[in-house]
Amino acid sequence: MQRETVLNTLVFLALPAVAAIALVLDEPFTITLATRAAILALAAVGLNLALGLGGLVSLGHAVFFGLGGYAMGILASHAQSYAPLDLGLFVIEGTKSMPVIWLTAVVVSALAALLIGLLALRTAGVYFIMITLAFGQMFYYFTISWPAYGGEDGLSIYVRNSFPGLNTLDPIQFFGLVFAVLAIVLFIMGRIERSAFGLALGTARQNAARVETVGLSPFHLRLVAFVISGAVTGLAGALFADLNRFVSPTMFSWQMSGEFIVFIVLGGIGRLFGPVVGACLFVLLEHLLSGVSEFWLIYLGAILLFVVLFARGGVIGALVGRGGHHG
């Protein structure tokens, strides 16, 4: 536990350290890489509540990532073209304000998670995986065939959205913003893990009958966890779209959902910082290995296989030498 805290702190501080060094050496690309790692980590931190603590293997979290992305894309494109967005019942203006976009992304993905959760959480195991996957594919093919916002080609936003008091076009300032969001979400997730809700959710993963016997509903616990989880991944989606100034259906793809799971497994399932370690490692390997060979995913696959076979606790587990600390 003690060693894990030290390791977590080191990993967490490594991100801003890398960004700071890159700033001094004037290498904006590296700052962008660190920002990308932080955003992907945020998406997986969201999934980790459902998957790690709740034991819900969702292969559909790209739905929330994509919804966050398109929430940004649609709002920003309407602001860009000065054409209000007609929703039938009412008409809203587009916006370039990050706080408004984030709020929209969080609300939309939370609602989607509520609806998907209501259906998918009635099943378990492989059926749950398949239903979440099916929802992901539905959104993926819908965005491909929906021409209004770019369809298959995606949607470009020319200028990054704004945040009060910051110049978000400056890579280091945008990184700082993303990192602050990640830090706040990690703090909140840490609190949730230790709360009464977290204890009940972790117990529902280990033994659903135990939770029922003390008068609690595993379904309600899982549904709430799924909604929080989806909302966080949706927020990450809005940031990811802003990083790239581009949204496309690939944000909804099942490969995206798979990558989030890979981050968690790589870092250590059920550990607060597991997804952060996993995402950083993934982005680093992607950067290093893709320079060596275009078939870099083969090497990544081999590393993942090694972790799954020999280091069940992920990289954190291997370094700390203990099982998952919460439940």
Residue 122 engages another protein in binding (rule: CB under 8 A): no
Residue 192 engages another protein in binding (rule: CB under 8 A): yes
Whether 175 and 184 have beta carbons less than 8 Å apart is answered as no
- Least distance in Å: CB of 12 to another protein? 21
Residue 194 engages another protein in binding (rule: CB under 8 A): yes
- Least distance in Å: CB of 193 to another protein? 10
Residue type, 66: G
Residue 195 engages another protein in binding (rule: CB under 8 A): yes
The correct pick among 5, 206, 255, 293 for binding another protein (CB under 8 A) is 206
Residue 284 engages another protein in binding (rule: CB under 8 A): no
Residue 5 engages another protein in binding (rule: CB under 8 A): no
Region of residue 159 (phi > 0: left; psi between -120 and 50: alpha; otherwise: beta): beta
The one segment of 107-115, 128-136, 188-196, 242-250 that binds another protein by CB under 8 A: 188-196
Whether 73 and 214 have beta carbons less than 8 Å apart is answered as no
Name, in order, each residue with C-beta under 8 angstroms of 68's C-beta and a sequence gap of 6 or more: 105, 106, 108, 109, 233, 234, 235, 236, 237, 238, 239, 240, 241
Q: What angle do CA 127, 128, 129 make, to 5 degrees?
A: 90
The correct pick among 200, 235, 238, 276 for binding another protein (CB under 8 A) is 200
The correct pick among 213, 292, 309, 310 for binding another protein (CB under 8 A) is 213
Number of residues binding to another protein, judged by CB under 8 A: 26
Residue 207 engages another protein in binding (rule: CB under 8 A): yes
Q: Which is nearer to another protein, 145 or 217 (CB)?
A: 217
- Least distance in Å: CB of 105 to another protein? 21
Residue 203 engages another protein in binding (rule: CB under 8 A): yes
Residue 212 engages another protein in binding (rule: CB under 8 A): yes
C-alpha span between 239 and 245 (Å, rounded) = 9
Which residue shows structure tokens 């979440």? 132
Q: Which is nearer to another protein, 157 or 189 (CB)?
A: 189
Residue type, 319: L
Residue 210 engages another protein in binding (rule: CB under 8 A): yes
Task: List, as one string, the DSSP characters of 225-237.
Answer: HHHHHHHHHHHHH
- Least distance in Å: CB of 206 to another protein? 4
Nearest to 222 by CA among 235, 236, 211, 233: 211
Residues 253-282 that bind another protein (CB under 8 A): none
CB-neighbour burial class of residue 218 (10 A; exposed 0-12, middle 13-18, buried 19+): buried
Residues 214-233 that bind another protein (CB under 8 A): 214-217, 221
- Least distance in Å: CB of 165 to another protein? 28
The separation between CA 240 and the C-alpha centre of its own chain, rounded to angstroms, equals 9
The correct pick among 149, 172, 176, 197 for binding another protein (CB under 8 A) is 197
Residue 209 engages another protein in binding (rule: CB under 8 A): yes
Identify any residues that bridge with 156 across adjacent strands, giving them in sequence order: 246
C-alpha span between 101 and 87 (Å, rounded) = 16
Residue 323 engages another protein in binding (rule: CB under 8 A): yes
Residue 55 engages another protein in binding (rule: CB under 8 A): no
C-alpha span between 31 and 243 (Å, rounded) = 11
C-alpha span between 101 and 106 (Å, rounded) = 9
- Least distance in Å: CB of 235 to another protein? 17
Residue 202 engages another protein in binding (rule: CB under 8 A): yes
* Contact set with another protein (CB under 8 A): 191-192, 194-200, 202-203, 206-207, 209-217, 221, 323-324, 327
